[in-house]
Amino acid sequence: MTMLNPDPDAALVERVKQGDVRAFEMLVVKYQRRIERLIGRMVRDVDLVSDIAQETFIRAYRALPQFRAESAFYTWLYRIAVNTAKKALVDMKRDPVTTLTALQGADDDDETYRGGMEPTDGETPEALLASKEIAATVNAAIAALSEDLRQAITLREIEGLSYEEISDVMNCPIGTVRSRIFRAREAIAERLRPLLDTREGNRW
């Protein structure tokens, strides 16, 4: 039986609810960049972005048993990120010096760990160059794909269509859609590998 869920993260969320913290890590890898960009638009202090994103995921993890799938997981996570960033901004106005300690706030009095305090390298010249290289490589790989593969991955990733909708648009079976999207991803990943393999795989 194939699961066709409106929320593509339903299987992962259910797995986390059953106690599998590793499934939550998969969600973190999936949404970390988007959450950091969202927070970065609200909080000007670049050093705080990673801390607030960490706090967002911790709060989401704690609240996950109450997540009722009324909305997509990302919508729910987005709201948590916005609220966490707003709280951080309020705390910063009250005490501009304190950062993460203020962020963790009154409801987390017993927490002393400050695991997210390492400086991020997202804004270094090397990191910016690497980001540009990654973007250029992905764009070049997309351009090199066959029309079928390019259309399938574009409809899925950019337009957000489900496999069933893509099969209607492309007039092919769902299994073919699934295969085309996988092949497109593999072709792009193959081009990305030289850029990512320097450190990837050692710590994931």
C-beta atoms surrounding 36 within 10 Å: 19
Query: Which is closer to another protein, CB of 37 or CB of 86?
Result: 37
Shortest approach of another protein to residue 196 CB, angstroms?
5
Shortest approach of another protein to residue 171 CB, angstroms?
18
Examine residue 101 and tell whether it contacts another protein (CB under 8 A). no
Span near another protein by CB under 8 A; candidates 16-24, 80-88, 93-101: 16-24
Examine residue 140 and tell whether it contacts another protein (CB under 8 A). no
Examine residue 169 and tell whether it contacts another protein (CB under 8 A). no
Rounded CA gap, 96 and 151, in Å?
49
Query: Which is closer to another protein, CB of 14 or CB of 96?
Result: 14
What residues between 26 and 85 interact with another protein by CB under 8 A? 26, 28-30, 32-34, 36-37, 50, 53-54, 57-58, 61-62, 64-66, 68-70
Query: Which is closer to another protein, CB of 17 or CB of 86?
Result: 17
